[in-house]
Amino acid sequence: MKQEALSAFQYGSISSIAMILFMVVFVGFIYFAYSQRNKEFFEEMSQLPLNEEKKYEPR
């Protein structure tokens, strides 16, 4: 039974493709998160909860 249930997973190439796909996505996220281009943006984003109470008075 186990073999039959497993048969869907016996195409070696599918596991390899899945593995590569997951790695690419993961590395992509790391690259995006840690690329210098986005640094300034992230710093501004992390201030979001703190800035909310800043009161702007209309002039």
Partner 1 sequence: MSEAQHGRFLNEVYDDRVVKAFVLATITWGLIAFTVGLIAALQLAYWPLNLNLEWLTFGRIRPLHTNAAIFAFAGNAIFAGIYHSSQRLLKKRMFNDFLSWTHFWGWQTIIVAAAITLPLGFTQSKEYAELEWPIDIAITVIWVVFAVNFFGTLIQRREKHMYVAIWFYISTIITVAVLHIVNSLEIPVGMLQSYPIWAGIQDALVQWWYGHNAVAFFLTTPFLGLMYYYIPKASGRPIYSYRLSIIHFWALVFIYIWAGPHHLLNTALPDWAQTLGMVFSLMLWAPSWGGMINGLLTLRGAWHLLRTVPIIKFLIVAVTFYGMSTFEGPLLSIKSVSSLAHYTDWIIGHVHGGALGWNGFLTIGMLYYLVPKLWNRKLYSVKLATTHFWTGFTGVLLYYISMWAAGITQGLMWQAIDSKGQLVYPDFVQTVTEIVPLYWVRATGGLLFITGFCMMIFNLWKTIQAAPKEEFVEHVTEPIHPKDGVSLDNGHRKLEGMVVVFSVLAFLAIAVGSVIEIYPTLSIHKYIDNQAMVEPWTPLEQAGRDIYVKEGCYNCHSQMIRKLPFDVLRFGKSSTIEESMYDRPFQWGSKRTGPDLARVGGKYPHLWHFRHMNNPRAMVDGSIMPSYPWLEHKKTDFYSLRKKFSVMQMLGVPYSNETVADADKIAEEQAKTLATALSEEIKASGGAIPQNLEQMQIVALIAYLQSLGQKGINK
Smallest gap from residue 40 Cβ to partner 1 (A): 6
Helices (H) and strands (E) in the chain, counts: 4, 0
Q: 18-47: which residues touch partner 1 (CB under 8 A)?
A: 26, 29-30, 32-34, 37-38, 40-47
Tokens, residue 26: 């993961």
- CA dist list (Å): 23 to 8, 17, 20, 26, 27: 22, 10, 5, 5, 6
CB of 34 to partner 1, least distance (A): 6
User: What is the contact surface with partner 1 in residues (CB under 8 A)?
Assistant: 1-2, 4-6, 8-9, 26, 29-30, 32-34, 37-38, 40-50, 52-59
